[in-house]
Structure 1
Amino acid sequence: MIRYTTQLFISLSFFILSTLPACVPIAPTGNSTAANTAASSPDQIFYDQAFRSNARSIRLLLPDGVLWSSALRIGDPTPLVLAFDILELGENISTDYRAKLIHCNADWRKSNLSNIDFLFEYNEFPITNEAFSYNTKVPYTQYRMSVPRVKLPGNYIISVYEDGNEANVVLTKRLMVYDQMMGVGAEVIQSSGVTERVTSHQIEFFVDYGSVDIPNPLEDIYVVVRQNNRWFNAIEGLEPTFVRQERQQLEYQHFDLQNNFYAGNEYRFFDLRTLNALGQNVGDIRRDQVPVEAFLLPDRNRSTELYSQYEDLNGAYVLGNLDIRGDELSADYVQTQFLLEANQKIAGDVYVVGAFNNRELTPENRMVYDSTLKSYTADLLLKQGFYNYQYYVVDSQDDYPYPFEGSYFEVESEYDILVYTRPIGTRGDILAGYTRISSQLGGR
C-alpha cells in the first residue's frame, strides 16, 4: 500500500531536500560537476531542475512547438519532444548528451521497478538532434529528443547527463503518463468557507475504481490536486469523505477547506519577441549590452483593485523573434529586470514565478528589496518570447501568497487531478486516473 506525506512544502526547505544525493545526483543550479557525483539516495525527491547555469529553456513540446505541461495518455501516438538550450557562456561545454528515464512513485522518489519493467528499449538515449543559434549575441546550441514510449503509466523523470556519465546530470524534467483505469469526475465551485468564497476555488471530485482490483481503496488510492501546473502548492493525500461501495466510488467533498486553493489573479505578461521596439509591458531595451538588457515596466500592487478578466496563458510562455521572423534559433537571450513596487519590505520571501522557471520557488527567482527604488527587483536571463508570470509570497507566519496579486474567485485556473495506486504484486505506483478541469467550466 502507499502512504505519503499530505502536502508538498512550499517553504524553502524543499531546496535543502533538492541538494541531497539521489539515484541520479542532484545539486543546485550552477554547481560544479564534482557536486553532481555525490552518492545516491533512495529518499531523493526529483524536481524540474537545471544543474548547469548554461542549461536554459527546458521544455516538453508537442510537434507543433506548443508547450506541454499536462499528463500524457499511455499509447498516445502524439510524440513529445524534450528541448533545451546550452548557452556558450565561457564554460566547458560537452557535445555528448544522453538521457535516461527514471520511474518514480507518486511522491517523485525512485520506484523499485527495473528498466525492463517500464521501457521497450535500452535505457540510454543519445541526443543527436542539435541546431545552432544565429544572429544572437548569446550563442547557444539547441538540443531536441523524442520522448521514448513507456510500458507503464506513472511518474517519470527524464534525466539528461553528459559525457556518458549518469552522475554528471545536466537537467531533470518531470513527465506524467496515465492510463484511464479509474474514472475521475470533478468540478470547481465556490469555497464553502464564508470569507473564502470570494478568494478561493474548491475542488470536488470522485474516483470510480470499479474496473481495478483494489482490496482497500481507502489505503491503496492516493490523489494529488495541482493548480496551473504548479507542484509547490499541490494538495496531496486527501482522504475521501464518503465511500460508495455499491458504486465502487470514493467521494472527495470536503467542507473543512482542505480542498481549497487561493484562486489568485490572472497572470501578468510581457512581450520580448522584438528588440527593435518596446513590446507590451517593456519599458526599456539596451541593445549595446551583451547580453541585451530589458527593463520591464514597474508592476503595481493589484490586491486592492477590482478584478479584471482577460485571457492569459496560465503561466506559460511562447518563444520567438519577430524582428527576423525566422525560427526560434534566431531568438536571443536577454537579461530581463522585473520591478515590483512596494513602499516597504514585507515579511516573507517574494518570488517571480512562471513556466519559464519551471513554476518553482528557487533562489534564482527570489526577489531582492531595493529601499532606494522602493521596489522588489529580480534579474533573469530569458530567451526572447511572450511570457506570463505572477508574484508569489512565502511567509512562515501567513499562508496567504498573494499580497501583491489579490485573489478572486472569478479567475480562470486549470486543475489536474491525479490518481495513483500500486497494483497487487508490483513494486511501483502507477498513474491510474487523470482529469484536467477549468474553473470556467464549473462554479460560474
Structure 2
Amino acid sequence: MSPVKTRQRLSEVRYEIRGELARRARELETQGRTLVKLNIGNPGAFGFRAPENLQHAIADRIARTDPYTHQQGLPEAREAIAAFHARRGTPNASAERVFVGNGVSELIDLSLRALLDPGDEVLLPSPDYPLWSAATILNDGRPVYYRCRAEDGFLPDPEEIEALVSSRTRAIVLINPNNPTGANYPRELLERIVAIAARHGLLLMCDEIYDGILYDDNAFQPVAPLAGDVPCLSFGGLSKVHRACGWRVGWAVLSGDNAVVGDLYHAMDLLGALRLCANVPGQFAIEAALTADDSIRALTAPGGRLYETRKALVESCAASEHLELVAPAGALYGFPAVVGDAAKGFDDHAFALELLETEDVLIVPGSSFNVPDRNFFRVTLLPEAPALREVLARIDRVLSRRAEAAGKVVPMKRADKSAA
C-alpha cells in the first residue's frame, strides 16, 4: 500500500517548542541523562502549583462535572469573565460574548477558522508565538509579519504595520506581554495600532494570557478598553498567571459594535457547538481565579521567585561577552541574542542541538518564532534563580568554544581570574 498522504500545508508549520529537539531530549533521558528543559513555559513542571482555592473550587463541584455544558462555557464562569473584563473597561462586556475553550490555543484556532477565507492575511508579530502562524496557515490564511526588533525593545512600529495592510488583510494580532521576548506594549503604541484597525476595518486579536505577569514598574494595558467599537477578541486563561496549564482553561471575549461583530459571534458559536463544549471541571475554577487575591504578584515582586530568576538572567547576560538581552518586562521568558565572535556563522538550531548534547540543556532556537535572524534563543524563567545561573554558565561555555573556533581566544572574565 502507498503511504497515507497528509495535508500539504503541514509542511509550512513549525513548532520547535515540542519538535525535533524535544524528541532528541526524550531519547537522551531514556539513556539516563538528566536534562534542564527550558523549552516550555510549563509552571507545574518546575514545582509551581495552582492556588489552593482554585483546586478546591474544582474538587467541591466535581459531582457537577459529568454532563456537557453550553458550547460557550458554564454560565457562572462566563459571568465571572465578563465581570472581570467590565472592571478593566471592556465595552459591552457580557457573558453572551464570552467563549470558554480548551486553553487559548483552541480558541485561537477556532476564531481564525471563523474569520478566514483562503488567501486572507493576518498581520503577526515577528517574533511570534508560533501557534499563531500555524493556526493561520492551517485555516488557509497567510501570515504577514511586522518586525519587533531588539533595538526597538521588541516593540513594533505602527507605520510598518499599516504599510503591510492589503485588501486581503483581516486581522492584527498582538501578543502582550509578549512571548517570546517579554516586551510590554505601552498605551500610546496600542492606541496607534487600534487606530490602524479602525481605519482599515480590521479585527484586533489580543493574546493577553500573561496579563498579570509583569516586573518592576511595568503595568498591563488591555486593548479592548482602547478599542471601543472596533472589533476585538481578547484571549486569557488560567494556564500562566494561575499556574494551571494542565487544566486547559482559556477564554476569548468579543467586544466592539454589535452590528460589526454579530456574524463573527455566530460563526464562533457554531464552531464551539461542533466541538460540543470545553473541559468542564476546570471551568469551576474561573470564578475563584478572577475574584480572589492576586496570587502572582508575590512571585513577580522583588524577592519573588520569578523576579529573582529574571534578575539572574539579566545579570548573567550582562556578564557574558557573548550575549545581549532586552530585559523582559513581563511574561515567563527571555530572548537573548548571541553577539560578537560567537555569532560568526551562527546557526541557532545547531547551537541548540550542541547545547543539548554537550551540556544537557534544552532551549528553543529563536528562528522557531518566525524571525529572519538566526542569533536568538528563548529560555523560560521558571527554574530557581541558581539553576538558571548554572544554565547560563553552560551556555557561555558553548559560546566560548564557538568564539575560539572563530579565531579569537576569549579573555578570562574577572571572576575566572580571581579564582585562578
Q: Tell me if TM exceeds 0.5.
A: no
For this structure pair, what is the TM-score category when the shorter chain's length is used for normalisation? under 0.3
TM-score, with length taken from structure 1 = 0.24
TM-score, with length taken from structure 2 = 0.25
Tell me which of the two structures has the higher relative contact order, counting C-alpha pairs closer than 8 angstroms and 6 or more residues apart: 2
